[in-house]
Amino acid sequence: MTNCELVVDSVGYRYPGGHLAVSDLSLTLGPGILGLLGPNGAGKSTLMRILATLTRPSAGKVTWNGADIATDPNALRVALGYLPQDFGVYAALSAREFLAFLAAVKGLSGALARERVDSCLSLVGLNEAADRRLGEFSGGMRQRVGIAQALLNDPTLLIVDEPTVGLDPEERMRFRHLLTDLAGQRLVILSTHIVSDVEASATALAVMSGGCLRFHGTPEQLLAQADGHVWEWTLAPEQLAEARAKFAVCASLRRPDGIRVRVVSAESPHAEAQAVTPALEDAYTWLLGADAGRH
């Protein structure tokens, strides 16, 4: 079995202006898919850049199979595939030309480079579009090129940061299936603020808020925290605004008899409210609300 242990030990990062983006964060990760969740501004992207060896932490350390990535970044870089949030392409190049260029940047050449380019194009379903200019690609197709470039060196650690922003529902679903297929003996870290991106695929979850780690465990453990705190009832349409002002409303559905609302609350929010089984979105909302002292 391939060595695949990433240890984040009391890591912190403070920007030059003084803003603390990551605070005393510790994680030990192995093969599987980690869904890194958190609202925008939670510190997820800063942590991703630290793990990708692009930013050195202000405090603590990160080790990959025992090697400190600050003093020995190449120990991780040879095993790393990275799709940043702001991934860009050269619009004038074809997908095949672009990947061949990046393969050379990663030190691959000759027959091996051509084999990896073809293999990665096939893996992300772009064989038929391989020789089209990237400027003609949809957002979803460009994201697939982004995953393909991250896989060129057959990485053991794959980091993807907010990969589904701007994608339509079908492309988002295809992307989630692709990441699930890629996991195997790899460690895949998927950073997102969209809970549905990790709901079906993540083997573990980490939730960040305000630069701090608020939860690390299985989806089932997060769901258990919200058990008994998710409620549904039907109200008149004119009561919806008041309900949203008073409670954390996770969903609302218009029906012939009124609007069915779903809220997270420590206590029953209404005489007619019934406790329901939490979904992951509910549990995430509950956790962030508890963290902010709103329960």
CA dihedral for 210, 211, 212, 213, sign (positive or negative): positive
Helix (H) or strand (E) holding 286: helix 280-291
Residue 64: which residues within 8 A CB-CB, separation 6 or more? 5, 6, 75, 76, 79, 157
The model's confidence at residue 164, banded by pLDDT at 50, 70 and 90, is: confident
* Per-residue pLDDT tens digits for 234-276: 999 999 999 999 999 999 999 999 999 999 999 999 999 999 9
At 36, list the tokens.
Answer: 């890194």
Least confident residue range of 63-72, 103-112, 162-171: 162-171
Whether pLDDT at 111 is above 60: yes
Nearest to 132 by CA among 145, 119, 120, 143: 145
The whole-number pLDDT of residue 58 equals 96
The model's confidence at residue 291, banded by pLDDT at 50, 70 and 90, is: low
Residue 144: which residues within 8 A CB-CB, separation 6 or more? 124, 125, 126, 175, 178
Cα gap 224→13, rounded to integer Å: 31
Whether pLDDT at 1 is above 50: no
Nearest to 89 by CA among 81, 97, 98, 80: 98
At 47, list the tokens.
Answer: 């942590």
Q: Please tell me the number of Cα atoms within 13 Å of 105 on its side-chain side.
A: 10
Nearest to 33 by CA among 163, 145, 171: 163
For the chain, what percent of residues have pLDDT higher than 90? 73
* Per-residue pLDDT tens digits for 184-225: 779 999 998 889 888 878 999 999 999 999 999 999 999 999
* Per-residue pLDDT tens digits for 69-95: 999 999 999 999 999 887 888 999 999
Cα gap 277→280, rounded to integer Å: 10
Q: What is the mean pLDDT of the chain?
A: 91
Domains of the chain: 1-79+157-217 (3.40.50.300), 86-154 (no CATH), 224-291 (no CATH)
pTM of structure: 0.88
Least confident residue range of 15-19, 41-45, 81-85, 139-143: 139-143
